[in-house]
Structure 1
Amino acid sequence: MTKSVLKDYYEIINVSVTACNEDIKKAYRRQALKLHPDKNKADCAEDKFKKLMKFYLTQQKERLTMLNDVIPQIWPIFSVLLHSIAIQEHLLEMFFNCHTYANRCAHPSNNKDVKGRRNGNFRQSQPFTKFYTPPPNFSTPPPPVPRPTPPQPSSPPPPPKQDEAILYDLKVNLEEICNGTTRKIRIGRELHGVDGILRKEEEVLPIEIKPGWKEGTKITYPKKGDVYPGRIPADIVFMIKEEKHSLFERDGSTLRCNMEIHLSDALIGRVTVPNLGGPDFEINFGKPIQPGTVHWFHSNTYYPYSILGGGLPDRKDECRRGQLVVTFFY
């Protein structure tokens, strides 16, 4: 821009070339209000207003040229925008809060709106409050865009709970514990379907009682209880309960008994002792038996060829049997 042209611009805003930036701002606002086509109908006012706007655009271009040293990659975009006629029209609309001069000339029907602004609305809008807004600070990077938090996987539903176990006592005698046996127990249960229909069923459970089992041994049949939707059926548990024997009393794998004998047998010294695991013991002491005498019978002493022992089988080794302790009285 030549010095003569620049001098004409300073004359339009009615300030000296050496005026400070603040004085130029005030004078520019004052002249823009004074020379605007909506406020001033003089012929020369329109030309001066156009020069005033051109001066503003030139000033803006110089300010952006300074920024070009900092962000050279952005300057070509602003250079194209500043030379666009559409941007100049948009600046007039933005700063004067009204239709542009070219738009008003093309659409004379908007004269009523112009008259309204002549009545004082133009002054109240203060259109130049945004005119000297400082340029954006391009040196400060924009805040980082927060990344969307990935959806957290939903926790799996808790597993269904199992109903409490159902416990039954299973009574067995010493003969069954000594020799082993198989019991068949019939149970019934209810099946509650998700459709609300109730069904019943029966089942026979075989229970194998092994030789030498102790009282309190448990036999479990998993998930044989009643069926309900969303629940695990209960386990059926049978617990061994020993029935009292008429002659023998259990002490681990040892059997004890109090045996009444006839006086004749006691004098002869020959008795027959019952055996849970096989034939009875025929014992010949060779002398009279005194009342309260305790005799121990074991396979290593009596009848090793046919009797393994007089007590109960050992659970860990069924080939071994416990002792039989007999107390005689008459």
Structure 2
Amino acid sequence: MAFNYYKLLQVNNTAKDDEIKKAYHKLAMKWHPDKNPNNKKEAEAKFKQISEAYAVLSNSEKRVIYDRHGEGRNNRTPPPKASDNSSENSKSAEDIFTDFFGSSFSENNFGNANWFSARVKEEAPIEKTLHYSLEDLYNGSTKKMRISREVLDSNGTLIQVEELLAIKLKPFWKNGTKVFFPGKGNERRNMFPSDMVVLLEEKPHPIFKREGNDLVVTINISLKEALTGYTTILTTLDGRLLRIPINKVIHPNYEEVVPREGMRFAKDPSQKGNLRIQFNIKFPSLNSEQKVSLRKILP
């Protein structure tokens, strides 16, 4: 199967050498099989394709031939090999990677199947904290976070860059959820770029408290309201107005449950938890006459 080498490296056909080097650096680090233990088969195929593309486009003679006869021109015919008899034509994807990144290992180490894992380490991830509100989570929203990190330019020099990370909050995520951005941390020579880990922390809400998939609210009422009836009026996290009449006697342990007005379920976002209304009853101070009157009224 023939591939479009420019598309594989995510550059256009006028890309300069330093652009091709930078593109290969980024993609080789991303798709190296040791970096992708959970989808190694796909990574191996992708890594081989990327290396093949770099081997052709980084060689001026091969690139000319490719542009003239290969995928870059007609999208059908793979490019012929260059006419030289050098060993470059038989280099493996790992050989190309090693040539590009260099090696701090002695020759004996290349007989070890795990030489790459031992040689190329990954820095500890960078951790950031993002605070969000219950409204953000309930309605679903995208939060943006500006990060600063060190990357290698095409000459191998460390430079400081700033980026905006977009974090799409999902309604069923919980406090303490970690969002991983592979390769978005600092870069170092002969090392995998570290990951960026964003820890989500929920800001205290002035009205609601989350307990699992339920929302809990505590309302202050008088003893008169507790005994004679009370109507709760609440604004939901998505802006709706709820009027909830309560005709039962509200005792200190009473809890009014409103079904399906809580947070969404992780396994089935169409389902919601409950809204639980709890009450803090304020008991009045009574004089002796009032106590006598109440004794007559109360059973």
TM-score by length of 2: 0.50
Q: Which has the higher contact order (CA 8 A, sep 6+)?
A: 2
TM-score by length of 1: 0.46
